[in-house]
């Protein structure tokens, strides 16, 4: 049974023969190994182009910004999984990544798609930033209360990661129409939702990366890649200083039973 389109049986990523491996048109051994750093190779794999200085700088910056933030749900899930199945590091990493959705870690993708839609609206209509921002927020509010990229349960005075990334983007002159739209959206919050909110890290990351040419479809990949590094750090610690069952026991004690 045929499912979906099956008329383009090609890939432009990688091929190999008995003597060589070719990645995006470059010889892996001759052109890449020992010559690319990993984040540049990541950009190259995703886009097919070698990153320029700013693209490489900010990809490294955002990977560092998202890789670690303590015992967040993805880390808790991974460490508790390793405690229960210490032979399955890959399963523990997978457990940590499977919960990367619209609320935690995947929210950069949600924000990026929203900002890209706002920018497309502004390009199509020629309306000023504030008009577009108000219109898009009001439209989004018909289906959700959350405006992606704003607010943080801990960093209520402003996410330090977000503030630094925006400062760096301004200093290096890469802040473009997506960053401008993100700022217009923040400025429109009092008018549309009745209060101000700080930008969280999931605002600048997609805005800056989209301005630098990163594909919308690959935004979640940034979070998945860097959080994998953070999870491996936590799982290495879990193997020698286990807290998985401590967290499990604390969860059991914290949750009361209210059934019959």
The tens digit of pLDDT for each residue in 215-248 reads 999 999 999 999 999 999 999 999 999 999 999 9
Q: What is the pLDDT of residues 26-60, one digit of tens each?
A: 999 999 999 999 999 999 999 999 999 999 999 99
**Number of residues that make up the chain:** 260
Domain boundaries, the chain: 107-217
CATH of 107-217, one of 1.20.140.10, 3.30.230.30, 1.10.230.10, 3.10.180.10: 1.10.230.10
Q: Which residues pair with 199 in a beta bridge?
A: 150
At 20 the pLDDT is 96
Q: What is the pLDDT of residues 128-154, one digit of tens each?
A: 999 999 999 999 999 988 899 998 767
Specify the pTM.
0.92
Which of 101, 127, 139, 119 minimizes the C-alpha distance to 182?
Answer: 119
Q: 219-240 vs 107-125: helix axis angle to the nearest 10?
A: 170
H runs (alpha helix) in the chain: 38-47, 53-66, 73-84, 89-98, 107-125, 129-140, 160-171, 177-193, 204-211, 219-240, 244-254
How far apart (Å, rounded) are the C-alpha atoms in residues 234 and 223?
A: 16
Both tokens of residue 65? 């910004």
Judged against a pLDDT cut of 80, whether residue 157 lies above it is answered with no
């Amino acid at each position: 049974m045929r499912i979906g389109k099956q008329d383009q049986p090609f890939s432009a990523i990688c091929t190999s023969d008995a003597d060589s491996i070719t990645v995006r048109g470059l010889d892996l051994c001759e052109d890449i190994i020992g010559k690319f750093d990993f984040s540049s190779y990541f950009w190259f794999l995703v886009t097919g182009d070698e990153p320029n200085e700013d693209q490489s700088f900010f990809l490294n910056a955002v990977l560092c910004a998202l890789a670690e933030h303590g015992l967040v749900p993805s880390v808790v899930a991974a460490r508790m999984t390793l405690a229960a199945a210490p032979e399955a590091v890959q399963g523990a990493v997978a457990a940590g990544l499977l919960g990367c959705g619209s609320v935690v870690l995947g929210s950069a993708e949600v924000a990026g798609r929203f900002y890209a839609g706002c920018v497309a609206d502004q390009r199509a209509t020629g309306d000023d930033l504030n008009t577009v921002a108000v219109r898009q927020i009001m439209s989004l509010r018909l289906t959700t209360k959350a405006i992606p990229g704003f607010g943080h349960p801990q960093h209520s005075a402003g996410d330090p990661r977000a503030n630094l990334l925006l400062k760096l983007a301004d200093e290096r002159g890469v802040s473009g129409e997506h960053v401008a739209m993100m700022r217009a959206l923040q400025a429109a919050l009092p008018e549309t939702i009745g209060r101000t909110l700080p930008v969280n890290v999931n605002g600048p990351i997609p805005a800056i990366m989209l301005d630098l040419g990163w594909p919308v479809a690959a935004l979640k990949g940034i979070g998945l890649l860097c959080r994998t590094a953070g999870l491996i750090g936590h799982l290495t610690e879990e193997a020698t200083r286990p807290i998985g069952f401590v967290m499990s026991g604390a969860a059991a004690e914290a949750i009361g039973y209210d059934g019959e």
